[in-house]
Amino acid sequence: MQARGETLAPGIIFDSDIGRDIDTVAALSMLHALGRGRLIGVGVHYSSLDAAAFCDAVARFYGIGGGLPIGVPEDGPKLPDVPMLKAPLAMKNEEGQPLLRHVIRSITDTADPTVVFRNALLSQQDKQGFAVLAAPATNFARTLQLYRAREVVTSKVRLLIMAAGSFSGSAADPRIRADIASARKLLTEWPSPVVAVGIEAGEAVPFPARSIETDFASMPNHPLIAAYRASRAGQSPEPAGFSSQAVLAALYAANPGAPYFTMSAPGTIDVSDDGRTRFKESSNGNHRYLIVDPAHKESITKAFIALATTRPATGRGGPQK
């Protein structure tokens, strides 16, 4: 039981385009590895029961049970059959039972993402919560339009960390380009400070592929292993790693004061008509973006592997009831 006046560990809401890239699966695993009660609400960008079921299965693998609300928009983009979701959900034991248990069978087993986020943040102390975005900005932008949700976000959220954007002059990030209007709305109206993790940061410190097969081996049936293998099936040669854009966002939420993180000066992030993000330095700006210092690359890699491979709460892998 929480003692009077006790400060709770920050709760995190996580909105993701799970099923698009493997980095969101790794990020979801990392946030669960922080322990029970840290991840307080999960949203899915797509109208996909597979994506929602996978999120539920990962929560149960980490011993969260049925306590984690999962939001799915009924009018969201459709997601075709994706091997990285289908394969883990289809895994069976010798008795033919699913290795990764979930209870999501229809849209009624989920909720609207905006309601999930608002209600989850109500459980937080003032300026205690974190919002992590690894998806187009649609759900978070809509959350600001929900009745009294803006007040909740203003009072409860300390920081928004978004795995989106590009700050090296490269092409537009697909997550921004997928919903430019919502990205603009979010960056203009979100009341808390914003830290963006751009494409270039994720590419500068990739998640090593060998870690999936070696560092996770002690946790049987880990959903990240199954998702990664399915996503890479038929590819030869196997890539050395994958972009850690969402992984870095999750790691920053877990430990924003870590010495291996380097931030830009404060400023504002604008979105052009083609989805490119432009950063304008300003002393009174509320936005920053993550910079990967080559001198800290090894420390960052070790940190996100260490967090991602933290064992589930029960001390063993496998589906939890």
72 within some domain: yes
314 within some domain: no
5 within some domain: no
320 within some domain: no
CA distances (Å), 209 to each of 82, 98, 181, 237, 244, in order?
20, 26, 35, 12, 11
127 within some domain: yes
27 within some domain: yes
Which range of residues forms the domain containing residue 33? 12-308
Is 297 exposed, middle or buried (CB count within 10 Å of its CB: 0-12, 13-18, 19+)?
A: middle
Alpha helix segments (H runs only) across the chain: 22-33, 49-61, 83-90, 113-121, 138-143, 149-156, 174-177, 180-189, 199-204, 209-214, 223-232, 245-254, 297-308
318 within some domain: no
Q: What is the mean pLDDT of each run of 10 residues along the chain (321 residues)?
A: 56 96 94 90 96 95 84 94 93 91 92 96 94 98 95 97 92 95 98 97 94 86 92 76 95 95 97 96 96 96 92 48 36
pTM: 0.93
pLDDT of residue 297: 95
**DSSP of 225-259, one letter per residue?**
HHHHHHHHTT-SSPPSEE--HHHHHHHHHH-TT-T
Domain CATH number, residue 126: 3.90.245.10
pLDDT of residue 7: 57
pLDDT of residue 169: 79
Q: What are phi and psi for residue 224, nearest 5 degrees? A: -65, -40
7 within some domain: no
Domain total in the chain: 1
Alpha helix segments (H runs only) across 144-189: 149-156, 174-177, 180-189
